[in-house]
Amino acid sequence: MIRRSFLKNSLLSIPILPASTVALNIAPLGKKPIVVSTWDFGKAANAEAWKVLSSHGKAIDAIEAGAKVPEADESNKTVGYGGYPDRDGHVTLDACIMDHNGNCGAVMCLEHIVHPISVARLVMEKTPHVILVGEGALDFALANGFKKENLLTPDSEKAWKEWLKKSNYNPIINIENKKINEPVAGAFPGSINNHDTLGILALDSSGNLSGGCTTSGMAFKMHGRVGDSPVIGAGLFVDGEIGAATSTGVGEEVIRCVGSHLVVEYMRQGNSPYDACKKVVERIAKRDIGKAKTIQIGFVAIDKFGNHGAFALQKGFSYAIRSENQEELIAGDSYFNS
């Protein structure tokens, strides 16, 4: 009788964790709120997002606020205003946004609007659709009060005209972190700064996740080309019960494996954000090792407790983090270490 009472009392004293916590094999001790985003310019995006999160605001509001920073920065040639055009001279923007309940919206091939992330959010909130493209997306934006503007800056137009002399299309690894007009070592003849994407993920003080992705796409792409950035499941995926992930790099390869969704599914199986990102990169590399050596792809992820991680094909990928106790850039590990 004494032994039975002891066992009963002992069992009652053991905390019972939610099943999802056990599945992730991670104790719910992560620091929240938190925001993470891709590349060095993610630090400025995080700073704006943190204004929302530190005031107990919603993650979805923080995502939009953060993404709008690089979209409006004309010195950033891979996102928004001032982004490099396609081969026909058109600046076309892509973006998507997603919350913890699976609500999402996206725009593709949107011209003349500085903040595609905000249009994507209105698609999510005001329409029964997930994606609007091209002229339809522009009409929707204008009908909702957005201003029509010329997004092609003199610097970007000059770079485009220089590219036209040879018209070679060769994406450059880690171009997001190159300074404007900085010579790119080892660049292929005719290549101009050519890459993409801000991916941003946030966890708010209520424990809710959201994410966003915004880009002007690959420089000098074919007119109408869309990469992974605005594709839910490829460039971004959020599951409020598990975590969120976003990608950057050559979008065609991310689409082929529905990369961000796959990262979240690996977290669902119990992998940490870091290990989940690593597993997806390994799958991409092993599918075509020759191609993998010539391109860059990176993933960033956070789980619902605020734990984060990243992994890329090549060295040079970075991500920014901001929380109550941390504000820094982190160099991501890579599959190819040379």
One of 78, 92, 153, 197 is an active-site residue; which one? 197
Contact 152, 114 (CB under 8 A): no
Instruction: State whether residue 246 is helix, strand or coil.
Output: strand
DSSP letter string over 11-49? HHTS----HHHHHHT--S---SSEEEEESTTHHHHHHHH
Contact 117, 108 (CB under 8 A): no
Contact 93, 214 (CB under 8 A): yes
Q: What does residue 42 show for φ and ψ, rounded to 5 degrees?
A: -65, -20
Give me 228's structure tokens: 């992974």
Instruction: State whether residue 155 is helix, strand or coil.
Output: helix
* C-alpha span between 69 and 85 (Å, rounded): 19
User: In degrees, to the nearest 5, what angle opens at C-alpha 226 toward C-alphas 330 and 314?
Assistant: 30
C-alpha to C-alpha distances, 200 to 70, 102, 212, 312, 321, nearest whole angstrom: 11, 16, 5, 16, 10
323: amino acid identity, one letter? S
Give me 164's structure tokens: 């036209």
- Say how many CA atoms lie within 13 Å of 178 toward its Cβ: 18
Alpha helices in the chain (DSSP H): 2-12, 19-24, 42-53, 59-71, 116-126, 134-143, 154-164, 251-256, 259-268, 273-287, 289-292
* C-alpha span between 177 and 41 (Å, rounded): 8
Instruction: State whether residue 325 is helix, strand or coil.
Output: coil
197 is a catalytic site residue: yes
Q: Which residues are catalytic?
A: 197
